[in-house]
Amino acid sequence: MYKGIEASRGIGIGSICLIVEHDLSFESKHIEDTEAEKARFNSAIETFKTETAAMADNIRKNIGPKEAEIMEGHLAMIADPTMAGEMTKMIEAGQCAEAAVTAVCDMFIGMFSKMEDDMMRQRASDISDIKISLLKLLLGIEDVDISTVAPGTILVAHDLTPSMTSQIVKENVVGIITEVGGKTSHSAILARALEIPAVLSVPNITEIVKDKDSAIVDGTEGEVYINPDGEKISQYVIKREEFIKAQAELKNFMGKETLTADGTPVELFCNIGTPKDAKKAVECDGEGIGLFRSEFLFMDRPHLPTEDEQFEAYKEAVETMGGRTVIIRTLDIGGDKDIPYLGLEKEENPFLGYRAVRYCLANRETYKMQLRGILRASAFGKVKIMVPLVTCVEEVREVKALVEECKNELKAEGVAFDDKIEVGCMVETAAASLIADILAKEADFFSIGTNDLTQYTMSVDRGNANVAYLYSAFQPAVLRSIKNIIEAGNKAGITVGMCGEAAADPLMIPLLISFGLNEYSVNPVLVLTARSIISKWSKAEADALAEKVLSLTTEKEIVALLKAEAK
Ligand code: PEP
Ligand code: MG
């Protein structure tokens, strides 16, 4: 069995089609006739645009408009004068087109791939796709045609780019296995949209398998079996049937209220990274936005976004949500999210340093631009402001004072906004958790950021693989912290939400019901699963389970018990 990342759920059983990688190496040479080189480059760009537009069309027809946005995004990136302009400048300075494309794309890939936010990291792989496509055009390499594979095919590739995925005929491809990519990579997104089971990031799989090998892809568990025996196949045929039945049941939760088994309503919101993602939240039946990570606006351009640019972006998300709540988290940079143009100093301990609200309060004019943008968008729907990385009550007070200052300015300018806009805080540090009762008197709402809360409670860098074994929200320390935060919020009568990954974890959900969480904010694709899990637990059952869990002393025992009692 080979293990990878479960990227698109379901079971696929079939025969492998191995997609061989092309050699994209080239000799970097100095160019004398830069005009001719520019013409060669421009012609590659034009062909890229035509081919990409055709692929977008193909995806729109065969998969849907939402998925076509991936290719449209590629078109927009190449149309952006910054990228092509930089490449042209390098060619004018005597570089060959291949070298210019590689250097500029690698620079952007380097910048985006370091970011913590999955959506931002995805941009790195988009640019990598663009780079590969442009190099293939410049080097005259033909792409593999996967539209003609036989029914029952499992595609195996180093990476499955959106351009390759756009050729997939859904009826013929029953599984996808790659060596790179994560849950939010575009190949994963497209695989999910096509409902094809996919396991990504299986090390060296293209060297392990041969064309026509038989295989099982378990996209739910992230497991792959090559040349399985008859017994294994029979076992997975049953699993496949069970999965198909469960999927059909999940669709019944579309358009339904989110209720526990004993009828208590809770809110089920979505986490988004761009205003466009709000559409996805609506399509997935999200009831609002519980976390709009506003960093993207600051990261996808070479300068600070203006107040107007921010206002337009927030307004787009707010209007898409049509009256449903949109919680906009103010700039959370620092840590592992660097924005080169801000010129922040390198720090020894960036996660403990100049990050998020600490940066914002030290750069008030920049922060006010964002707060004014959010306030202006609040005239178009139900908006809330959320402050990241709070550690003491003064930070909340200072942000609230700045919000008041912005409100007064806008009033004087005759600009509309929601005067009753709520200002809440993320509870994602050990300090904030310990003073949750104090913060609850100052904040209008809480949202628990379990990704950071786990990191800061367990003193474990969330990106460090060597200590990843400690990084679990099921650690007794983290669970006690979560319980304390929810109870403090409930006692003060403010809404308590959770926007960290744990909010969508089927094992965590009964504990959150027991602790009294009011709002769950999850990745849009997990809305129906979360709604279904929530519907299975009554408060009394959840309480009984939570009591047992809290009496245990290790993470291992807790997870084992939750798995044993999972519904
Ligand atoms: C969190 O820390 O749980 C969170 C939701 O924020 P981010 O992952 O963006 O730090
Ligand atoms: Mg966080």
Ligand 1 pocket test: pick from 425, 428, 478 the residue with the most ligand atoms within 8 Å of its Cβ.
428
The winner for highest mean pLDDT among 39-43, 57-61, 157-161, 165-169 is 39-43
Render pLDDT for 318-330 as a digit per residue (tens, 0 to 9): 999 999 999 999 9
**Do 368 and 514 share a domain, yes or no?**
yes
**Alpha carbon of 84 to ligand 2 centroid (Å):** 34
Q: What is the CATH number of the domain that holds 128?
A: 1.10.274.10
Evaluate whether residue 28 is within a structural domain. no
d(CA 375, CA 468): 39
d(CA 523, CA 293): 12
Q: Does residue 182 share a domain with residue 114?
A: no
Confidence band of 285 (pLDDT split at 50, 70, 90): very high
Q: What is the pLDDT of residues 510-541, one digit of tens each?
A: 999 999 999 999 989 899 999 999 999 999 99
For range 482-501, the mean pLDDT:
97
pLDDT at 64: 75
- Cβ-contact 446, 495 below 8 angstroms: yes
Q: Are residues 486 and 500 in the same domain?
A: yes
pLDDT higher than 70, residue 184? no
Tokens 């190949």 belong to residue: 187
Model confidence at 543, in pLDDT bands (50, 70, 90)?
very high
In this model, does residue 145 exceed pLDDT 80? no
Residues 351 and 446 in one domain: yes
Total domains, the chain: 3
Question: Do 557 and 531 share a domain, yes or no?
Answer: yes
450 Cα: distance to centroid of ligand 2 (angstroms):
7
For residues 234 and 383, membership in a common domain is answered with no
Identity of the highest mean pLDDT range in 11-20, 44-53, 410-419, 523-532: 410-419
Q: How far is CA 94 from CA 31, 44, 100, 253, 261, in A?
A: 5, 18, 9, 59, 68
Distance 428 CA to ligand 1 centre (A): 8
Q: Residue range 157-179: average pLDDT?
A: 85
List, by residue number, the catalytic residues.
186, 499
Q: Which ligand 1 atom sits closest to the C-alpha of 450?
A: 3
Q: What is the mean pLDDT of residues 283-290?
A: 96
Residues 329 and 468 in one domain: yes
Question: Are the beta carbons of 253 and 246 closer than 8 angstroms?
Answer: no
Whole-angstrom Cα distance, residue 39 to residue 29?
A: 17
User: For position 499, which CATH number holds?
Assistant: 3.20.20.60
- Mark which of 186, 217, 251 sits at the end of a domain: 251
**In the predicted model, is pLDDT for residue 436 greater than 80?**
yes
Alpha-carbon distance 152 to 12, whole Å?
Answer: 8
The enclosing domain of 12 has a CATH number of 3.50.30.10
Average pLDDT, the chain: 92
pLDDT band at 214 (very low <50, low <70, confident <90, very high): very high
> Is residue 187 in a domain?
yes
- Here the tokens at position 364 are 């008030």
Distance CA 199, CA 210 (A): 17
Q: Answer yes or no: is 55 within a domain.
A: yes
The answer to whether residue 257 is domain-embedded is no
* 302 and 164 within one domain: no
For residue 267, the CA-to-ligand 2 centroid distance in Å is 20
Q: Please report the pLDDT score of residue 462 as a whole number.
A: 82
Parallel, antiparallel or unpaired: strands 173-178 and 5-8? unpaired
258 lines ligand 1 (CB under 6 A): no
pLDDT tens digits for range 110-134? 888 877 676 777 788 788 888 988 9
Q: Which band of pLDDT confidence, cut at 50, 70 and 90, is reported for residue 181?
A: confident
Task: Report the pLDDT averaged over residues 495-523.
Answer: 96
DSSP state letters, 333-376:
-BTTB--GGG-PPP-SSGGGSS-HHHHHHHSHHHHHHHHHHHHH
Residue 26 within a domain: no
Is the alpha carbon torsion for 251, 252, 258, 260 positive or negative? negative
Rounded distance, CA 509 to CA 549, Å? 13
| Mean pLDDT of the region 266-287 | 94
Residue at a domain's end among 227, 251, 275: 251
- In whole angstroms, give the CA distance from residue 156 to residue 200: 10
Task: Please tell me whether residues 95 and 184 are part of one structural domain.
Answer: no
User: Parallel, antiparallel, or unpaired for β 445-448 and 422-427?
Assistant: parallel
DSSP 8-class letter at 71:
H
Selected residue with higher pLDDT from 59 and 144: 59
Q: Which of 461, 454, 500, 504 is nearest to 475 (CA)?
A: 454
Candidates 295, 207, 276, 198; CA nearest to 4 is 198
Of 96, 123, 139, the position where a domain reaches its end is 139
User: Considering only CA atoms, which of 109, 341, 14 is closest in space to residue 101?
Assistant: 109
Residue 27 belongs to a domain: no
CA-to-CA distance for 99 and 495, rounded, in angstroms?
A: 54
- Model pTM greater than 0.85? no
If asked whether residues 345 and 367 sit together in one domain, one would say yes
Q: Kindly state whether residues 222 and 322 are assigned to the same domain.
A: no
Quick check: CB of 428 below 6 Å from ligand 1?
A: yes
Q: Do 287 and 372 sit in the same domain of this protein?
A: yes
Share in percent of the chain as helix, strand, coil (round to 5): 55, 15, 30
pLDDT tens digit sequence for 339-362: 889 988 889 999 999 999 999 999
Q: Which pLDDT band holds residue 450 (cuts at 50, 70, 90)?
A: very high
Residue 160 domain boundaries = 2-21+144-251
Rounded to whole angstroms, the Cα distance separating 461 from 8 reads 28
Q: Is the pLDDT of residue 203 over 70?
A: yes
Burial environment of residue 145 by CB neighbours within 10 A (0 to 12, 13 to 18, 19 or more): exposed
Tokens of 523: 């990745």
For residue 449, the ligand 1 atom closest to its alpha carbon is 3
